Amino acid sequence: MSFDIICFDCDSTLSKIEGIDELARREGLGAEMARLTNAAMNGEVKLEAVYGQRLSAIRPNKQSIDWLAEAYIAERVDGVEEVFAQLLALGKTVHIVSGGLRQAILPLARYLGLPEEQVHAVDVYFNKDGSYQDFDEHSPLARNGGKAEICRQLLKPDSKLVMVGDGNTDMEAKQAGAYVVGFGGVVDRAIVRELADVYCPEANLKAVLTHVL
């Protein structure tokens, strides 16, 4: 099956890290935040139940977001450059659709040759001194079902869309008529194995090309 529009999650899909967990570790809150992230990605709790809670505890400032942006690039998944280069060379429309923080993901997107308007994630706001102010509480990507909302917006008549990701929120893209490729190369989740249309356990992202081209 060949797709015109190809969407990727970011955390544990394009990069080996979970951004919010890395920010938490930086503030000495790692174990508790990782537990909340895993619960949301495994479908045990609603994303909106933990999203604001995590950010209120961590309060990431501009400096820590810049640090995370570098970490996303440094920890990128094997094969990610080749995948993006091949898809873009073929004229495919590629998007990043993530519940992560947009300002931290944008440098990785640029590195992979993607314009910022094709990055869909949650904006974080800072005070004038760079300290944390808030996040975009109205973003659909900060709640369950948000990736399905974004996929509906991106899906054009007579086009086929695929979502590639590692978590329960990625599986929700099926509600929008998306085909879903579960990527287990970083984290192997039982719910993703169960719900994905096809599952890739390989650590190299190039494994997904067979299923999207």
Residues acting as catalytic residues: 9, 11
At what angle are helices 62-74 and 19-26 packed, to 10 degrees?
Answer: 130
Which residue type is seen at 13? T
The answer to whether 207 and 184 are in contact (CB under 8 A) is no
User: What are 195's two structure tokens?
Assistant: 């719900």
Helix (H), strand (E) counts: the chain? 10, 8
- Nearest CA to 57 out of 99, 28, 35, 86 is that of 28
Radius of gyration (C-alpha) of the chain in whole angstroms = 16
How long, in residues, is the chain? 213
Distances from the Cα of 74 to the Cαs of 17, 71, 80, 113, 120, in angstroms?
10, 5, 12, 16, 21
Burial of 89 (0-12, 13-18, 19+ CB in 10 A): exposed
